[in-house]
Structure 1
Amino acid sequence: MTALADLQAPTLDDLEILARDAYARLPEEFRRLCEGVVIRVEDFPDDETQREMGCETPFDLLGLFRGIGLAQGGAMMQTGQFPNMVWLYRRPILDYWAENEESLGHLVTHVLVHEIGHHFGLSDDDMEAIEAAVS
């Protein structure tokens, strides 16, 4: 039997390692924007998040940023405020990955950069430049 027969889908821990590696390779000025951000990997968004984001299926959302970005005055943490968080959703990411021609590491980096970048008001061109810097 070939080695392919023994392959298993990346786990939550595997995606978390990819996300931490991607974050560590981001340009320093970008990481400063999101100092203290918590990155969480879950299989799917919870039901409340799916409703809030208007998802038709649990596979519609690859990631999500929750928090207060610099553009919204979030430079200083307020008492009782949750930390800025990025969720990466493993199963939708793996589904997308299986249907497209890009590496899993690149896809995780893309989702991470875009979730953080959109929340901080960066343009698509800015985010593409950040992604290119880590490729």
Structure 2
Amino acid sequence: MTDLANLQAPSLADFEILADAAFRRLPEEFRALCEGVVIKIDDFPDDETLREMECETPFDLLGLFRGVGLAQTGGIMHTGQFPNMVWLYRRPILDYWAEHEDSLGALVTHVLVHEIGHHFGLSDEDMEAIEAAAG
């Protein structure tokens, strides 16, 4: 039996490991198109992001894509352009996980695919297919 009395919530470093593993499980052709996308892990979105996204609480946002997606650029980076970034927010993801039946790994994969999907301008159906391919 698992020693539940000493179990601790996954840290930011643990989430980086989960996100890296989720990314590696994505289909190769999808990962190849993600070159240059930076994945960041934070406990919560910053105040500016919360205002911009019109969040009622810091727990309302599980992840975020910031940048210029391939659908808008045709894949061409412009001089001075910041890299495209995906944020995964640890505390909101843990809160969501506590209230649902998904495994933590599946939830991190779902949020990661959804946010990267914004980079490509993918439909929900496209993202579901990629997520299914990732297992």
- Whether TM-score is above 0.5 comes out as yes
Aligned residues of 1:40 and 1:85 also touching (Cα < 8 A): yes
Which stretch of structure 1 is more off in the superposition, 25-34 or 85-94?
Answer: 25-34
Distance change >3 Å, CA 25–CA 51, structure 1 → 2: same
Q: 1:19 & 1:94 partners in 2: Cα distance?
A: 14
Which stretch of structure 1 is more off in the superposition, 50-59 or 69-78?
Answer: 69-78
Deviations 1:86-128 (A, max 9, x none): 0000000000001000100000000000011133211111111
Aligned residues of 1:23 and 1:109 also touching (Cα < 8 A): yes
Match in the other structure for 2:40: 40
One-letter amino acid of the structure 2 residue matched with residue 17 of structure 1? I
Aligned residues of 1:33 and 1:70 also touching (Cα < 8 A): no
Kindly report which structure 2 residues correspond to 1:65-104, keeping only aligned pairs within 5 A, or say none. Answer: 65-73=65-73, 75-104=75-104
CA displacement at 1:33 relative to structure 2: 2.5
Q: 1:68 & 1:35 partners in 2: Cα distance?
A: 13
RMSD: 1.1
Deviations 1:31-67 (A, max 9, x none): 1222111000000000000000000000000000001
The DSSP-based 3-state class of the residue aligned with 1:39 is strand
Which stretch of structure 1 is more off in the superposition, 9-18 or 119-128?
Answer: 119-128
Q: 1:101 & 1:118 partners in 2: Cα distance?
A: 25
Q: 1:73 & 1:82 partners in 2: Cα distance?
A: 13
Q: 2:94 & 2:72 partners in 1: Cα distance?
A: 32
Q: 1:129 & 1:119 partners in 2: Cα distance?
A: 16
TM-score (norm 1): 0.95
Aligned length: 134
Q: 2:109 & 2:94 partners in 1: Cα distance?
A: 13
Q: 1:74 & 1:60 partners in 2: Cα distance?
A: 31
